[in-house]
Structure 1
């Protein structure tokens, strides 16, 4: 069933108009919120990615104890920020030491702040926030099934792979190239959102890689909603999945977000017709 669903969706994405997907915010007419905290954050934090990342499964009292501890530690070390490789290593390893305690697929940014649970989306988000704080030139890279952070300083590239606490800070030029090569599109269809999954399904051997693009922290918050929508779909919670996709589309109307929402809306409509017979 799931394989059939993914195949149908892959075909659907092929026919989504790029122009329409980029104006997808206009398709969002109603987006029910999980609670008042989410509603307040979602509608007031468009210019503050740190808050917007906290919108998914928002809590009234999010703990910032670990976050503030990390900032305090790194602020002290930032005096030696000119020692680029050393300081970037400190950012990577101190973040894991203080905040990133346990990898858990489909965990969200609030899980990271409150419990130390993270996945590639929330892990990359905290690294991007730290790199922005210390004015590094970085990019959040979205691929078909994964997100990571690429830093470029003084002509050198560094990888922040959040899911590898021991070896995820990659600075050797050869290893950096090897890492990037594993995610680069396998054909000329780069930057086309043709795959419906992110961090939720493992890539199958021989499957084409089509997405490799830099996104903003705000767009990453949209991907967090998208990822959560897939989780709820897999749990047969179609309505909740649609709610999450509506919010994902408002923040980041990428092709795969729009396509998945349109497909699930069609499924929901068909379910309602069957129920009314």
Structure 2
């Protein structure tokens, strides 16, 4: 099977071209492909499919085989993949996802030394933070802002929860690099308050326009970046009065820019083609 490896701010994906047909990837196949030591290795598998309502359809399977509703970094990588494959030849496109249609467009190219860094923007939709929208147990219409969450064998944590088409639980910390993400992340991901599990962001406020974050992704574990997680972090920080509605989010894999307006959230960041290959089975 032919595959194509792409990354966006360190979030890496195995891209499969299903535009002209082919069988859907099964959860077991996704787990085998994403395995770092015995497979290709990736945070997830993205299938490029035809759409009846948009220019493209994106199907995303996490490293554990579960299907994700939306992925901001993945949408940017998919747009570049479609350009590289000749499926698209325009500066913007609409992408069908389980969270609805998303518009992706070229952004201004930056340079790292002499090398150009291709950047793309994704319309991430309107964020929601009522408990029912996450979903999160409790009063459905209550905003899930600054809520104390009990944890087994640890002190409770204060969280703000946001839906970016997928669930996010944001924790503000004083020292994100020293925080026990590997311990607290899985406790929050599988917390009984989240019936569909949740992504978890640990966020340190650097100043008015800058955040530093680490992400524990649902079905993956800690990743170098998460586009929807960066958006959720800025929304959560803004509704708590900690920052304005535009900020840069610094993740281990690179920086993403998030702009929250009346129309929704715009995510801008890089995407890159890494290599191609073929599996033997």
Superposition TM-score tier, normalisation by shorter sequence:
under 0.3
TM-score, normalisation: structure 2: 0.26
Larger fraction in helix:
1
TM-score, normalisation: structure 1: 0.26
Larger radius of gyration: 1
Larger fraction in strand:
2
